[in-house]
Structure 1
Amino acid sequence: MAPSAGGGYVYTIGDLADFFGITHRALRFYEDKGMLKPRRVGQKRLYSNKDRTKLRLILNGKQIGMTIREIQEFLESYELRDGNDVQMRKALAKIRSQRLLLKQRRESIEMSLQELERVEKIIAGMVEAGTALDE
């Protein structure tokens, strides 16, 4: 990481990859999709603070199960956050929808875990009692 002429910081592909624990290939993928736009100096990619923030948003979106297209739409609303009410409302609706979906998945997972625990106790009891069926 080094200061840029404009006073912000610039990050190399290695800086961001190391910081976020991702590969250079992943960064190039997001660049190919137009989600990140580093400045090029010869063969070097130099990422700004804005790129770093966008990468954090991309990775957070991935973590909550958003598709690449949904993340791209969210980033577009991030770019237009200076007054585009329609885009911001769409982004807010998507976030709320995704949060609801994840809560539903969590409930389903909790139910599955409870059922597995119940079955595990039954089988463990059978094994301990020596009542397990021999094949």
Structure 2
Amino acid sequence: MTTQSTSSTPTDAVTTFTAAFAGLVATGDTGPVEQLLAPGFRHHRPDATSSTKDQWLSAVRGSLERIAGMEVEVKHVLASGDHVVMHRRRRLPGGPEITVVDICRFEDELIAEVWEIIEPAAEAAAHLSWWDA
């Protein structure tokens, strides 16, 4: 795992962020993640949809049974200013592998926004020439 930090985003925030999301996957406990989210938290998807803190937590809680046993490999965590970027690979037992990049913006030591990008690893080569659709 690669970590870069600046004085605006303490290493503690990166460590807490990484541990909270690892705990979510390992235990299904949304509490530590919920404590990191600002009251006005927004979660953004590539299709231009966004969800509020309550909507996102509800969706996560609703998916916990389906993601039980998911393997997560953190490839990189980078921090600069008020942003933390996490690049991971996820795999469900017997399921496909996906690559995920989360870009988080912190505000007052809480996560104010997350932009999430997900790509099935098996489709990555086809996406290298997306303009030839």
Measured against the shorter chain, the TM-score band is under 0.3
What is the TM-score with the length of structure 2 in the denominator? Answer: 0.25
Structure number having the greater strand percentage: 2
Q: Which has the larger radius of gyration?
A: 1
Q: Which has the higher contact order (CA 8 A, sep 6+)?
A: 2
Structure number having the greater helix percentage: 1
